[in-house]
Structures are given as C-alpha cells and as structure tokens.
Amino acid sequence: MSDLPSYRSKQLLQWIYDKHIFDPQLMSNLPAETRDELGSKLSFSIPQIDLKKTAKDGTSKYRLKLEDDSIIEMVLIPDGKKNTLCVSSQVGCARACSFCATGEMGLKRNLETHEIVAQIMLASSFCQPNRLSNLVFMGMGEPMDNLENVLKTLTIIQADDTLAFSPRRTTVSTCGITDGIRALADSKIKTKLAVSLNSAIDEKRSMIMPINEIHPLKKLKESLKYYLTKSNYRITFEYILIPDFNMDDEDISALRSFVGDISCKLNFIPYNTVPSLPYRSPTEPEIELFLKKAQSLNQAITLRRSRGAEIFGACGQLAGQQ
C-alpha cells in the first residue's frame, strides 16, 4: 500500500517483525479503516503447520501447508541461545540429485517472496524470547532456480526496519547453477554461499548430480572464482560422505586439486539414510578413516553431523509422507 503514511508503515512493520502479529485486526494502534484495508489488499497468510516432529537433540522439522495446499518443509535447529532455520525456496526441486528425497518429487512451483518470508517469521516467533540467529537456504528446492524471490527475501529481512538480519548469518546453497552464482555475485546483496559438491570427479558427480552435465566442475569453478571477486566471504563446500562412492583416496586427491586455489572451507556430512534411495550412511570407522585422509587438505574442514535423523531429517522426507 504505497499510500500508507510512513509512520503507519513503521507501525505495521513493528507489528509484523517485532511483535510477530500477522492479523491486521489485532494491530491496535492502527485505525479500523486501515486494518480493514490492509486485510483486503495484502496477504498476511502464515503457513499452516500440517505436521511437526521434534528430535531428541531439539531439532524440529515442520511440514507446512500453503494457501494453495502445497506442502513444503522447514527445519529449526537450536544450539543454546542460537537458532538456525533451514528454509525452503521451492515446492519440490527440478534438479533430481539422486541422494536427495526432494529430488524424487520433481518441481511443483517456485515459492513467492512472501511465502519464503513467512517461513522466517513463523520460525522467529517460535524462537522467542531468543532470536532466530542463522538462516540457510538449504531446504526444499534449488535457490538459484528461484533467485529473484530469494534476493527479494534477503533484501526484506536485512532491512533495518524489519529483522536487520546480518548477511554474515545468511547462507544461500546451490547444487552448482553457474549463471545463478554469477547473478548472485552481481546482485550486490550480501550473503554467504554454499555449494553442494559431493565429488570433485566429473564422472562421479554426474552420476549423483545431473546438474554436472550442464554445469561441469570446470565451469563451476570459474563461476566460484568470479563470485569471490565480488564477495568477502569464503565459499563453503558441502560434501556428503557416501560409502563406496566418494570416500576413497582418489576422491581426496581430486578434492585437493579442485579446492586448492579457492578461498573456502569444507563441511563433510555423513549421509543421512533415506529408505527409498540406494545409499547407506557411513560407519564411524569409515568416517574416522576419511577424516584422517582429509587432514592432508589445506582448507579448514569440519564434520557436520546431520540433525534430526530420527524425525526424517533429510530434506524432502517429511513432505513425502502421507
């Protein structure tokens, strides 16, 4: 509503972003006619919680129903006073990574900007009295395939009169859409970037990530180097550990060659078993052996344990349940 006076706009934003009130009729310092007009012209819809599962570690996974009955997921991960939200950007995903439950769904549609922001606001209300501290676009969907709405979301939540969310606490993840990476770099919107790598060998990566046929490793690396000319943040490479596939000596050697001249850090993530997919989780001895070999890499490395495995923590698992 462009005709709303600036002080009324400020009041409206305070109700939404400070007080987490999404019904205009409850915004008591706005005139009745303004409340009625807001309700008739703008959508204040918040996704309906269709199913919630909470793990022993406190991780909560939400299956959300949108206004058109589309189903998406979000995951809220507490760590002391810190709270990280894994947010979805699409209903389903078109990229068909063979290890991902969402990939089995195919793409239904992109999420609108307000549907992404609504997830963030819903999660923020659950964190009270603490704040939502970190935001990762690693839920359902490929963010680069809905980049316009993702960038609009970041612009909204980073604004001083909304959440003033720090770019240092936001991460956009991609399976390797190179033109999207370049567009993100050129957007001048600050955020961290994570890349789902999973193998630094073209043939292997193509086996599990069809995107590699279109955007092979050489092309991906060129786009990442371009991104680094525009950003002060290191790139994070996500590398899912899949036994008998990407945990051998040749995999470490290829990884060393690929990341050697890139400002980055490496997150190794033990695969979270999905019953419908033909992969298994690595054993502890297999993880320990791989990490021992990975010590030869020059980059900072971390082992990131999957959270919420017993509540269908892998992306897309909960949405696929009836």
Give yes or no for residue 29 having a pLDDT over 60.
yes
- Between these two residues, 129 and 90, which has the higher pLDDT value? 90
Q: How confident is the model at residue 303 (pLDDT cuts 50, 70, 90)?
A: very high
Distance of alpha carbon 223 from alpha carbon 216, whole angstroms? 11
In which residue are the tokens 């129903």 written? 65
Bigger pLDDT: 41 vs 181: 181
pLDDT, tens only, 61-74: 999 999 999 999 99
For residue range 182-205, list pLDDT tens digits in order. Answer: 999 999 999 999 999 999 999 999
pLDDT digits (tens, 9 = 90+) for 233-247: 999 999 999 999 999
Percent of the residues in the chain that have a pLDDT greater than 70, as a whole number:
94
Average pLDDT over residues 248-257: 97
| CB-count exposure of residue 133 (10 Å: 0-12, 13-18, 19+) | middle
In sequence order, the 6+-apart residues with CB closer than 8 A to the CB of 220 are 176, 178, 181, 195
pLDDT the model gives residue 320: 52
**Stated pTM of the model:** 0.91
More confident residue, 317 or 147: 147
- pLDDT at residue 106, rounded to an integer: 93
Residue 229's pLDDT is 97
How far is the CA of 240 from the CAs of 28, 51, 55, 125, 148, in angstroms? 50, 27, 21, 32, 28
Question: Which class is domain 70-311?
Answer: alpha beta
Of 263, 266, 264, 320, the residue nearest 295 (C-alpha): 266
Residue 305 confidence (pLDDT): 79
The span from the CA of 217 to the CA of 197, in Å, is 9
Q: Match 């999207």 to its residue by tokens.
A: 180
Span of 33-47, 62-76, 139-153, 225-239 with lowest mean pLDDT = 33-47
Do residues 72 and 140 lie in contact, with contact meaning Cβ atoms separated by under 8 Å? Answer: yes
Contact 175, 208 (CB under 8 A): no
Task: Give yes or no for residue 304 having a pLDDT over 60.
Answer: yes
Give the confidence band of 49 by pLDDT, cuts at 50, 70, 90. very high
Give the DSSP per-residue string, 169-224: GEEEEES--HHHHHHHHHT----EEEEE-S-SSHHHHHHH-THHHHS-HHHHHHHH
Q: How many Å apart are CA 307 and CA 58, to the nearest integer? A: 9
CB neighbour class for 32 (10 Å; exposed up to 12, middle 13-18, buried from 19): exposed
Active-site residues, by number, are 73, 315
Amino acid 182: pLDDT:
98
Three-state secondary structure call for residue 37:
helix
DSSP string, 113-156: HHHHHHHHHHHHHHHTTS---EEEE-SSS-GGGGHHHHHHHHHH
d(C-alpha 169, C-alpha 264), whole Å: 16
What is residue 44's predicted lDDT score, i.e. its pLDDT? 85
